[in-house]
Amino acid sequence: MDGWIFIDKPKNITSFKVIQRLRKILNIKKIGHAGTLDPFATGILAIAVGEATKSIHYFNQNKVYKFNVVFGESKDTDDITGKTTDKSNVIPTKEAIDKCLRKFIGKHTQIPPQYSAVKVNGKRAYMLARNKQKFSIQSKDVFIKYLKCVEIKNDSEYCFILECSSGTYVRSIARDMGKMLGTFAYVSELRRVKIGKIEEKDIILLDKFEELVHIGDHFEVMHSIRDVLDDIPAVLIDQELSLKFQNGLSFKYSSKKSENDYLLIETEKKFVGIGKALEGKIKPVRVFNL
């Protein structure tokens, strides 16, 4: 049980609840996820099991979201689950929205929502917000590769497609879009449709996965660590160097291109771990016991 599972997260359930359920289904302790989805959101939840939990930090792929934004109203959570805080009669046209979207493309600075898991002085922002405490969240740099308005749902609701770096808050984009257009806005629907090369065709419903576990067919829908991290360059080594690497020892390696980059280290038979090229050597960063 060392690999990745890509679950289609249901609506109105936290990402943590999905983890809890899978831990019980699989009877396994080592399990974690890469990239939380809000309870109201659906779509791809990337879950690492067993030794794969060591690779979560390196699974840093762009994410694609499909989401709806309602203009003319703001929520304290910046999404449909929150309480209304302001209203406006100003509803932007699609032309105005399209013009506004250009300002988001590329390196973009955003402030995470007040109701988020960001830590403020050691405490989660959403806990402080629930307790009506006043606080400020530091802005962060994210990268927006693609953002487009693809459909008019009704007079005040529009549908968007977004491709962004890991750690981007869609709710912040909606909130900021509203401000830029002289009104208010919140996310009414949100679905993660892609992470790196993983698309909706590669995911499985939670209930369906549970059925497969009961009959022992769940291994067929699991992805290997090697497969999930295939965007990282690989270095093939022999058995002797493999033993050296697994014991925490560096070995000589010359490549200007890979200096300071992470590298997948593997033999012809198995995936060994993740190393880093430094000063003509590959230094072990993570060793996997597979």
Q: Which residues are catalytic?
A: 38
Residues ≥6 apart with Cβ < 8 Å to 142: 107, 108, 109, 110, 164, 165, 167, 168
Rounded-to-integer distance, Cα 283 and Cα 123, Å: 35
Closest CA to 249 of 214, 285, 216, 289: 285
DSSP-derived letter for residue 10 is: P
CA distance 38 to 228: 23
Cα(107)–Cα(122) distance, rounded to whole angstroms?
A: 27
H-type alpha helices, the chain:
15-26, 94-101, 125-130, 170-180, 206-215, 225-228, 239-246
CA 268, 269, 271, 275 torsion-angle sign: negative
Helix (H, G, I), strand (E, B) or coil at 28: coil
Using CB atoms within 10 Å of the CB of residue 154, give its burial: 0 to 12 exposed, 13 to 18 middle, 19+ buried. Answer: exposed
**The one-letter amino acid at 63:** K
Q: Residues 68, 162: contact at Cβ < 8 Å? A: no
